[in-house]
Structure 1
Amino acid sequence: MTQRAEHSTVMDRLALDDLINGYARAVDDGDWPGYLALFTPDGRADYRSAGGIEAGTEDIAAWLAEMLRQFAMRQHLIVNRRIELNRRDGAPGDTATIQADYLNPMRLARPAADAGDDDPTAPNYTCGGRYDFTARRTPDGWRLTGVVVHEKWRQVRPLGD
């Protein structure tokens, strides 16, 4: 591999890492226009293993916006990323796959009548699993073409515990 190809690979990996960070940030912040901007127009996502839906990103963003209202706090920690760039003639290609584990501590929103909680920010709903991301290089940079969530576990504690 030439020095130019190695530099390109490093730059692609950094861009893909930033794309995945943007995904976590958009979901946690409820930034649905930002979420949609991370995807190609034909992008899809599959949240069925976590009790959700599989659909195009417009429908997914609407579903996430509605579903995540029940959480007063949420934070994605996406770790152990494995980035695979396709190769073309010995050089980095224009598609990639990323596998990454996630830990997602959240806080179920408490109804207004239940204001006696001693720590209203502590997580009481945590789940973990693995994401399978696919991405494609576009004129605007790397964009997601697909996201598949593989939830492996979840723990839910009653409010007030």
Structure 2
Amino acid sequence: MELRDRDELTDLAARLGRWLDGKHFDDPRAVFTEDAEVTTPGGTSRGADALAAQARRNHTVPTQHFVTNPLIEIDGDRAGIGANLLVVFAHEGGPRVVGERYDLRAARTPDGWRIAGVRSTVVWELPAA
């Protein structure tokens, strides 16, 4: 079971990036728990609808999120995922590239693993040209 959980949690971290890049903000529960809390450089929000609104505000241009090197710790129906994040914001005047560290908390739900918490820390940034 643990290998399957690890695969599902790795996919969950990748789905977060795809959710953001695809601007699927109308469907936060496909990735997040109802009471998820998110703290990123774009702000802090709690609850699926509030964090979707925060993502919508902060992702107005095309983006591409690369989530890599996940390190997963499972404790029953809870898990922690540490990962590297490289995100490109495709501004008209030139791309903004940010290197971040993701610390995700996940919870097993009847619908599978969902993200219960996100903490994103900027490590470096190349501002738009």
TM-score (norm 2): 0.91
Equivalent residues of 1:137, 1:143 under 8 A apart? yes
Q: Out of 64, 67, 79, which is 2:68 matched to?
A: 79
**CA RMSD, 1 decimal:** 1.4
Equivalent residues of 1:24, 1:78 under 8 A apart? yes
CA-to-aligned-CA distance 1:32-82 (integer Å, 9 cap, x gap): 1333321111111001xx2x211113222112212211x2x2100000110
CA distance in 1, matches of 2:90, 2:7: 31
Identify, as 1 or 2, the structure richer in helix.
1
Equivalent residues of 2:91, 2:128 under 8 A apart? no
Q: Out of 89, 95, 103, which is 1:106 matched to?
A: 89
* Equivalent position of 1:113 in the other structure: none
Larger radius of gyration: 1
Runs of 4+ in 1 over 4 A off after TM superposition: none
Name the count of aligned residue pairs.
128
* Equivalent position of 2:51 in the other structure: 60
CA-to-aligned-CA distance 1:83-114 (integer Å, 9 cap, x gap): 0011xxxxxx111000000111221135xxxx
Identify, as 1 or 2, the structure richer in strand.
2
Identity %: 31
Q: Out of 79, 104, 113, which is 1:96 matched to?
A: 79
Equivalent residues of 1:46, 1:148 under 8 A apart? yes
Residue 6 of structure 2 aligns to which amino acid in structure 1?
R
Structure 2 residues not aligned, in runs of 5+: none
* Equivalent position of 1:130 in the other structure: 101
